[in-house]
Amino acid sequence: MADQAFVTLATHDGYARGAMVLGKSLRNHHTSRKLVALIGPQVSDTCQSVLKRIFDEVKVVDVLDSGDATHLDMMKRPDLGVTFTKLHCWTLTQFSKCVFMDADTLVLSNVDELFEREELSAAPDPGWPDCFNSGVFVFRPSLETHGKLLQHCTEHGSFDGGDQGVLNGFFSDWATADISKHLPFIYNLSSIAIYTYLPAFKQFGGNAKVVHFLGKTKPWSYTFDPKSKRITGEAHEAASQPTFLLDWWTLYSSAVVPMLQEQHGDQPFQSGCVEYCDTVPIESEEIPEASCSSPAQVETPLSSEQRKQKWEQGQADYMGTDSFDNIKSKLDTFLK
């Protein structure tokens, strides 16, 4: 099965953490396929090293951005323009068939049977089920298809500003042409469906094979206390998907954090990955102000919300507000 692979994408360290957990979950469920991570040049060396330990191949790719603020604003996700980078997965022609999985997905059991499906197989999007969700899909790498997809982007753009709009435009007969290309929802169980259709979730959720933490708030946006196993975050979301979130955090803290710490070694804690973030609260008002030497930061302090967003995007200010000393003193307040 060396010519088939699971592929994911991380343009920065935030999503790289998701990719690590996804990769680990695929390994834990004994996949017989290769694992490939496409990453942006912004991913830190520490994260790259850990990704290389989990994935068979880690490939740096150019970040493609739709720059389509109008459509992205309609989804309230200005950050998703860079999902055009996903289209690079069609260039992986060393493989005959692949399954793409968003970095915010988690595998709950072996899903190698997905390789029995053909391009383009995907599950319905919970928001508009005549569109497929592009968080999990089966495809055949091909430079020809890649070229056509880029051409499609140039000529038609994307109706949502991200890859899902382009892919649904390109594979436009998905809804009607071939039912075997409709993956069951359990291969891409969007966590939002849990609260939009709770009875169905209660009935069928136990069969879930892949959970997708779709939406703005990602597992790494929450706070986790490994001792009490408590997750805190935005109340309605945390309450609606506690088991899956706990699965994610348990894997992250038990398998990924030790690797990040090992990789980090004794070097001074500068930029890079978020080794210590598993118990770090996102509400940065509570983190003591840093004795910050950067004039830019002194002149234009970021709001709490802006700092939270930057943290979630993997752009923590490790030399300033988010320095290890500050994080440690925050942890100390918890321990007390």
- The contact set with ligand GLC (CB under 6 A) reads 80, 83, 102, 133-135, 160, 162-165, 214
Map residue 190 onto helix, strand or coil: strand
Q: How far is the CB of 125 from ligand GLC (least distance, A)?
A: 7
Q: How far is the CB of 127 from ligand UDP (least distance, A)?
A: 10
Q: Judged by CB under 5 A, which of 102, 125, 312, 322 binds Mn ion?
A: 102
Nearer residue to ligand GLC within complex by CB, 160 or 317: 160
Q: How many CB atoms lie within 10 A of CB 7?
A: 26
Q: How far is the CB of 232 from Mn ion (least distance, A)?
A: 22
Q: Which does 160 bind (CB under 5 to 8 A by kind): ligand GLC, Mn ion, ligand UDP, none?
A: ligand GLC
Q: Residue 182: beta bridge partners?
A: 122
Q: How far is the CB of 289 from Mn ion (least distance, A)?
A: 34
Q: Judged by CB under 5 A, which of 68, 104, 125, 322 binds Mn ion?
A: 104
- Rounded CA separation 125/189 (Å): 10
Q: Which stretch binds Mn ion (CB under 5 A): 69-77, 98-106, 149-157, 304-312?
A: 98-106
Contact positions toward ligand UDP, by CB under 6 A?
8-12, 15, 79-80, 82-83, 86, 102-104, 135, 214-215
Class of residue 291 by CB neighbours under 10 A (exposed 0-12, middle 13-18, buried 19+): exposed
Nearer residue to ligand UDP within complex by CB, 163 or 275: 163
Nearer residue to ligand GLC within complex by CB, 164 or 241: 164
Q: Which does 165 bind (CB under 5 to 8 A by kind): Mn ion, ligand GLC, ligand UDP, none?
A: ligand GLC
Residue type, 52: K
Residue type, 324: F
Q: Is there a contact between 111 and 25 (Cβ–Cβ < 8 Å)? A: no
Residue type, 295: P
The site for Mn ion, by CB under 5 A, has a size of 4
- Which residue in the shown chain puts its C-beta closest to ligand GLC? 162
Residue whose C-alpha is closest to residue 106's, from 23, 170, 50, 31 = 23
Q: How far is the CB of 218 from Mn ion (least distance, A)?
A: 8
Q: How far is the CB of 101 from ligand UDP (least distance, A)?
A: 8
- Which residue in the shown chain puts its C-beta closest to ligand UDP? 102
Nearer residue to Mn ion within complex by CB, 19 or 153: 19
Nearer residue to Mn ion within complex by CB, 126 or 205: 126
Q: Is there a contact between 95 and 86 (Cβ–Cβ < 8 Å)? A: no
Nearer residue to ligand GLC within complex by CB, 137 or 224: 137
The CA angle 272-247-242, to the nearest 5 degrees, is 110
- Rounded CA separation 172/131 (Å): 9
Query: What angle, 0 to 180 degrees and rounded to 10, lies between the N-to-C axes of helices 13-28 and 242-251?
Result: 90
Q: 300-320 burial by CB neighbour count: b if 16+ within 10 A, else e?
A: eeeeeeebbbbbbebbbbbbb
Q: 69-91 burial by CB neighbour count: b if 16+ within 10 A, else e?
A: eebbeebebebbbbbbbbbbbbb
Residue whose C-alpha is closest to residue 183's, from 124, 111, 108, 98 = 124
Nearer residue to Mn ion within complex by CB, 77 or 264: 77
Q: How far is the CB of 118 from Mn ion (least distance, A)?
A: 23
Nearer residue to ligand UDP within complex by CB, 21 or 257: 21
| CA dihedral for 161, 164, 170, 176, sign (positive or negative) | negative
Q: Which does 126 bind (CB under 5 to 8 A by kind): ligand UDP, ligand GLC, Mn ion, none?
A: none
Q: How far is the CB of 127 from ligand GLC (least distance, A)?
A: 8
Distance of CA 127 to the CA centre of its chain: 19
Residue type, 171: F
Residue numbers of the site for Mn ion (CB under 5 A)? 102, 104, 135, 214
